Amino acid sequence: MERIGAVLIDIDGVLTVSWKALPGTVVAMERLRGAGIPLALVTNTTSRTRASIAEKLVGEGFPVSADDILTAPAVTAAHLREHHPGARCLLINTGDVRDDLTGVTLVDEEESGSAQSGSAHGGAPDVVVLGGAGDAFTYAALNRAFRHVQRGARLVAMHRNMYWRTAAGLDLDTGAFLLGLERAARVEAEITGKPAGSFFATALAHLGATASHALMVGDDIESDVLAAQRAGLTGVLVRTGKYLPETNRAAGGTPDHVIDSFADLPALLERLGA
């Protein structure tokens, strides 16, 4: 395992589905820990804070802590602090991740008002932030976002994933709604989570690793694997989670490696390090 200096690992669909460990994943994680390989869990999950995710994973037996986890909300907070300092932000997200949005000024929907396109409103947000899809993505909420963006608010999205795997099957995710909002408002959102190159750069900096000696494991060929490869990492696609053969065939590139599940990663790392 000497060639690989760090491993980035998606969570949902790779380690777990609906927060239940997939077969063999806990043992594989223990083997990586035993080999002393630096690792980070990198996720576009927007329904839980880093601490809450760590608690769930530990409950399933994974040897991880909150410090091992990098989430889209945490990266979004850093992006907003750097690129929109002091901005009033309207967050539309299913799940409470406010604890990970440190240093960000959030306004409530009532505070944001119902500013019409072109009108001024003292409480109107400077930035509309889209998190994870779900019950919060009502017509009223999305229409309010549309009006604020028309008025001139910037649009930031934690990711543009189209769907994710749950125990009940595939569910629509933020990207399905974001595309319509971008088209209607004639803007392009600033994306902070995967597949943004800055997300991978942040994760590598967290581990003190270089892209050429790092590997990314994911179930989303576009956002996880090919995006990581464009950032200079080795990409590994797993055939679990949201993986679909037809999506793989239609992708805009080819993964460096494809394995049946995360349980097979230690064997792959041994081959790469040989």
Out of 11-15, 73-77, 162-166, pick the least confident.
162-166
CA distances from 199 to 31, 76, 117, 170, 263 (A): 26, 9, 32, 25, 25
Residues 6 or more apart in contact with residue 244 via CB below 8 angstroms: none
Whether the per-residue pLDDT at 273 is higher than 80: the answer is: no
What whole-number distance in Å separates Cα of residue 197 and Cα of residue 185? 25
What helix, strand, coil percent values describe the chain, rounded to 5? Answer: 40, 20, 40
What whole-number distance in Å separates Cα of residue 14 and Cα of residue 261? 7
DSSP assignment letter at 115? P
Tell me if 205 sits within 8 A of 53, measured CB to CB.
Answer: no
Tell me if 191 sits within 8 A of 79, measured CB to CB.
Answer: no
Write down how long the chain is. Answer: 274
Whether the per-residue pLDDT at 15 is higher than 50: the answer is: yes
What whole-number distance in Å separates Cα of residue 5 and Cα of residue 244? 29
* pTM above threshold 0.75: yes
Tell me if 104 sits within 8 A of 78, measured CB to CB.
Answer: no
Confidence tier at 167 by pLDDT (50, 70, 90): confident
What whole-number distance in Å separates Cα of residue 106 and Cα of residue 248? 38
pLDDT of residue 3: 73
Whether the per-residue pLDDT at 189 is higher than 50: the answer is: yes
pLDDT of residue 110: 61
3-class DSSP state of 168: coil
Whether the per-residue pLDDT at 116 is higher than 60: the answer is: no
Q: What count of Cα atoms within 13 Å lies in the side-chain half-sphere of residue 225?
A: 25
pLDDT of residue 118: 34
Confidence tier at 113 by pLDDT (50, 70, 90): low
pLDDT of residue 119: 34
The 10s digit of each residue's pLDDT in 203-254 is 999 999 999 999 999 999 999 999 999 999 999 999 999 999 999 899 989 9
The 10s digit of each residue's pLDDT in 252-272 is 899 999 999 999 999 999 998
**Single-letter code of the amino acid located at 205:** A
Mean pLDDT in the chain? 91
pLDDT of residue 112: 55
What value does the mean pLDDT take over residues 94-109? 89
**Single-letter code of the amino acid located at 27:** V
What whole-number distance in Å separates Cα of residue 16 and Cα of residue 262? 10
pLDDT of residue 109: 67
pLDDT of residue 120: 38
